[in-house]
Structure 1
Amino acid sequence: MTPTPTPEPSPTPGATDGGFAGYQFALTGGAGGLVYTVNNGNDLRAKLAEAKAGSQPIVVYIDGVITDANSGGQGKDIEIKDQDNVSLIGVADRASFDGIGLHIRRSKNIIVQNLTFHEPWPGQERDAISIEGDDDGSVTGHIWIDHCELYHQLTSDKDYYDGLIDTKAGAYAVTVSYSYLHHAHKTSLHGSSDTDTVPNADRFLTFHHNRFEHLTSRVPLFRHGKGHVYNNYFNEISSTAINSRMGAEILVEKNVFENTQNPVVSFGSSSIGYWNLVDNLMGPGVTWSTGSLDAHAQSGESTSTYTVPYSYTADSTDGLKEYILANAGVGKLDQSGLDIPPPVSAPPVDDGGGEEGEPVASLTLPLSESFTTSTEAFFTASYKSLTGSAGTGTPLYHRVTGSAEIVDGALSLTGARVSVGNSTPTVSTTGSDQQTTGVLPLVADYRVSFKVVSVAGDTSKAFMIYVDNNTASSANSLWGGASKFYSVALNSLVPGQTYQVSGLLASANSFLTLRTESAATIVLDDLVVEAAN
């Protein structure tokens, strides 16, 4: 049976989100209200509360890392609750929610842009972003998530984290665009159960120009409602990608699928869902496990005639993969025209666990790392602190951004930056810095060596090593552009070979940063920093 599309009113032209979030609605977020910049979770909570108390719109620029520790240490998500007209916007590529989630509840007109969310503390929603109404009839709607990066870990148990972006309990009119979702078992669930229909089952969700990679399932999963999934790139999806259930109808249009099992299916509910397939590209590595599915789209035939009510432009699949790889995720937006105020609090200074103001002592070289631990432990001081041994305070290793995991006793980096020995790891370096903040004595000749286990992804891109710079711009260091002292295309590295690199002479209190460009993966082992003589 092919269901009849639900009639919709005529669209409002010019919706900037390209989907349901701005359909027949002035999607403005916090424009025209309070404007602040924050660099920690306590200030973020305080400014959201200030706007809520005064019933004012608010734009909050985030320039730093939001953690549970700097958000009050309560093990609770950052909440936008019973509050409308909010924009959360990351500055450059320096803003992230590290180990803490964002919970949007009973709220409307919300924009979340240019932020990284990873590995939310698994004590509350366990979602990176959770969006919900309420079973009392309250709804949450007109939410736009744009140019964000969200990831968990595939090395953890599949139930340790929940979704990257989940909606439930009447949440509707949501657009997810130009975002990079990767390395998660549970990607994006809409409808918490087959009976999640209160106050209504009208999801109205749009996904466009997103990058979905290294995911297990729910890419996305719809129970009930209507959806539009267009111009996305799917790669390395191991179980199921788009899963339409409980009568949901999805327009699946001009997407590119590669190395994906079961691109469009209905699986796992008491009733199937439906799809309207338009000009999708099934590329290399697409497979189907049809025997275990309730319904599937292997034949390429549509089971619905659903179309969306808003105006939009769908790009051709020719060149779409390359376009999405270049434009989806954080740090891609031109923010030069924004009037971003200074942070309400001075940047935090991490003293590495000593007394306040007490300098951190330098380590003695060589520093050797064999990565014989887990991902969960590696980025903790209990594995290695700034002393080089297990301890307390600041960890020796800090994931700045991207995917960094311990895999089979080696370090895997995908579009990532990992700092080594930085005493203020959550503070971004700048070209105006007057002193260094590390614990590595790099004032005399030294070298960095590492063994290449493997390379993957876009191997035309580079692996780089910086000194006293934890950003993506080589100019953001007191050493200027020279801070990036090593850069090599992955396709020139030979797996199994050990490489030695002469480092830039820096200071007695320096740190290093390992970086891979977006879509580039290197797995390395046996990292050594040692004197060159």
Structure 2
Amino acid sequence: MRNRLLAVVTALMLLPVPAVAGDFEHLGRQVAGPRDGWGAGTTGGSAATRDQVAYVDSRAELVAALAGGQSKIVYVRGTIDGNTDDAGRSISCEQYADPGYSLPAYLKQYDPATWGRVEPSGPLEEARARSQANQARRVVVPVGSNTTIIGLGDDATLRGLTLRVSGAHNVIIRNLRFEDAHDCFPQWDPADGPTGNWNSEYDNLVLAGATRVWVDRCEFSDGGNTAKPTYFGRRYEVHDGLLDVVNGADLVTLSYNHFHDHDKSLLIGNTDRPAQDAGKLRVTLHHNLFENLGSRAPRVRYGQVHLHNNLYVIPESASYEYSWGVGVESRIYAENNYFETARAVSPATFAKWWKGTALHATGTVANGRAVDVVAAHNAAYDPDLGTDVGWRPTLVAHLDPVGSVPRVVRDKAGVGRN
């Protein structure tokens, strides 16, 4: 009998452990290091008591767990879809649509050939805006202060929703996959660019007026939702950005994240008017993988932004515009970043002038060769950029040799890396 019992116990011990928690539960108590960039010392919800720890696997549970300013740790299991009702049932674009809206009617009404190059207005545009507001009420999920959000295992995913940290303080987000925050009701803007553009709402993650935020080892993409038709000669774009740091957000570190397969990826500062951004928007980006992106990695206004040890993978020139957007009063300090590019991609395009005056860029390597990004830009484009940005980063835990960046970043960036 004893031998038989021992055999049963042994067999149970050999059964696989469910992958719900994996090895990632301990991340909930970790805090940002004392020199880990501008977000150094962020503690999130690490002080949460047992009754302030939640495990969620639905949109309704996520919304409830993230509310309030008390210390809290929220563990995400599996995939949570923002386009679901409180019972977990999927909500389609047609269900969000206002009775007065349809895409065929919108395309007919605002065709530039008959409507002209003025902004859409009238009952149909108002119905589109109401439809968009219906979706926003479901997919935009607010995050309270003193919060840590951790994805469990290597498949914790927030799909089709916007996690919005608005005016909150002290937030940590780690090991989460963000994908396909799509807008069912893009707006046609005939005055955007020389031929007009479709513009949409919803980024995967928004830090709006937030302070002390650490986003680490996450993944951001369109989730494969990339095949879209063309209307009025322009792609019907249902995605906005991957991550925005805006509205006076400050003291942020973005580390070991993977941004991929998107157009306009990361925006720091969303206006040329400094009502709330001057002296803020201090952000560090280190050891991130930026792969197959069109632009904004990042585009910066006003902020003191430190970019170091990031890897940029640009597989083709056709869909690539630039990586570093030098915007109004931006002070980008870039060092030891590595670019892997297709042959046709010129280092002159790594940075783009957006009314800024200076860019510090040292230690940059492209395809194994050192490049001077500012000199390459100035040789190809006007106006010239200076190199004095008026500050030098001091909150740096370590600066890796640029030659090691591809290996280190590929080993550690993205979800499921412990």
TM-score (norm 1): 0.52
Instruction: Please name the residue that 1:21 is paired with.
Output: 39
Instruction: Please name the residue that 1:75 is paired with.
Output: 135
Deviation, 1:158, is 7.5
Residue 80 (structure 2) aligned to one of 66, 71, 81: 66
Residue 204 (structure 2) aligned to one of 125, 128, 138: 128
Instruction: Please name the residue that 2:296 is paired with.
Output: 218
**Contact 2:280/2:303 (CA < 8 Å) preserved in 1?**
yes
Matches of 2:382 and 2:215, distance apart in 1: 31
Deviation, 1:144, is 0.9
Instruction: Please name the residue that 2:356 is paired with.
Output: 272
Matches of 1:296 and 1:130, distance apart in 2: 32
Matches of 2:338 and 2:75, distance apart in 1: 33
Instruction: Please name the residue that 1:188 is paired with.
Output: 266
Residue 168 (structure 2) aligned to one of 96, 102, 107: 107
Deviation, 1:102, is 1.0
Matches of 1:227 and 1:173, distance apart in 2: 10
- The 5-angstrom pairing of residues 195-274 of structure 1 reads 195-198=273-276, 200-236=278-314, 238-259=320-341, 260-261=345-346, 262=348, 264-268=350-354, 271-274=355-358
**Contact 1:265/1:295 (CA < 8 Å) preserved in 2?**
no
What secondary structure is seen at the aligned counterpart in 2 of 1:319?
Answer: helix
Deviations 1:372-393 (A, max 9, x none): xxxxxxxxxxxxxxxxxxxxxx
Instruction: Please name the residue that 2:214 is paired with.
Output: 144
Structure (1/2) with the larger helix percentage:
2
Deviation, 1:242, is 0.9
What secondary structure is seen at the aligned counterpart in 1 of 2:171?
Answer: strand
Higher RCO structure, 1 or 2 (CA under 8 Å, sep 6+): 2
Instruction: Please name the residue that 1:7 is paired with.
Output: none
Distance 1:226-1:71 versus aligned 2 partners, 3 A rule: farther
- The 5-angstrom pairing of residues 133-532 of structure 1 reads 133=209, 140-152=210-222, 155-156=227-228, 157=235, 159-198=237-276, 200-236=278-314, 238-259=320-341, 260-261=345-346, 262=348, 264-268=350-354, 271-283=355-367, 293-295=381-383, 302-304=387-389, 306-333=391-418
Instruction: Please name the residue that 1:56 is paired with.
Output: 70
Deviation, 1:117, is 0.6
Instruction: Please name the residue that 1:507 is paired with.
Output: none
**Contact 2:159/2:181 (CA < 8 Å) preserved in 1?**
yes
Deviation, 1:46, is 1.4
Matches of 1:158 and 1:295, distance apart in 2: 33
What secondary structure is seen at the aligned counterpart in 2 of 1:321?
Answer: helix
What secondary structure is seen at the aligned counterpart in 2 of 1:143?
Answer: strand
Structure (1/2) with the larger strand percentage:
1
Deviation, 1:235, is 1.2
Distance 1:43-1:17 versus aligned 2 partners, 3 A rule: farther
Deviation, 1:36, is 1.0
**Contact 1:45/1:78 (CA < 8 Å) preserved in 2?**
no
Deviation, 1:147, is 0.2
Matched, 1:31 2:11: no
Could you tell me which amino acid in structure 1 is paired with residue 394 of structure 2? P
What secondary structure is seen at the aligned counterpart in 2 of 1:31?
Answer: coil
Deviation, 1:100, is 1.4
Residue 95 (structure 1) aligned to one of 143, 156, 160: 156
**Contact 2:285/2:310 (CA < 8 Å) preserved in 1?**
yes
Could you tell me which amino acid in structure 2 is paired with residue 65 of structure 1? T
Deviation, 1:61, is 0.4
What secondary structure is seen at the aligned counterpart in 2 of 1:29?
Answer: coil
How many matched pairs? 302
Could you tell me which amino acid in structure 1 is paired with residue 401 of structure 2? S
**Contact 1:244/1:274 (CA < 8 Å) preserved in 2?**
yes
Matches of 2:325 and 2:409, distance apart in 1: 22
Could you tell me which amino acid in structure 2 is paired with residue 240 of structure 1? Y
What secondary structure is seen at the aligned counterpart in 2 of 1:267?
Answer: strand
Could you tell me which amino acid in structure 1 is paired with residue 151 of structure 2? G
Deviation, 1:290, is 6.4
Deviations 1:38-68 (A, max 9, x none): 111110111223xx1xx42110000111112
Could you tell me which amino acid in structure 2 is paired with residue 312 of structure 1? A
**Contact 2:35/2:397 (CA < 8 Å) preserved in 1?**
no
**Contact 1:224/1:247 (CA < 8 Å) preserved in 2?**
yes
What secondary structure is seen at the aligned counterpart in 1 of 2:253?
Answer: strand
**Contact 2:279/2:303 (CA < 8 Å) preserved in 1?**
yes
Deviation, 1:103, is 1.1
Could you tell me which amino acid in structure 1 is paired with residue 353 of structure 2? F
Q: What 5-or-longer segments of structure 1 have no aligned partner?
A: 1-13, 134-139, 334-533
Could you tell me which amino acid in structure 2 is paired with residue 204 of structure 1? R
Matches of 1:100 and 1:198, distance apart in 2: 26
Distance 1:158-1:174 versus aligned 2 partners, 3 A rule: farther
Distance 1:173-1:331 versus aligned 2 partners, 3 A rule: same
Matches of 1:127 and 1:220, distance apart in 2: 14
Deviation, 1:200, is 3.6
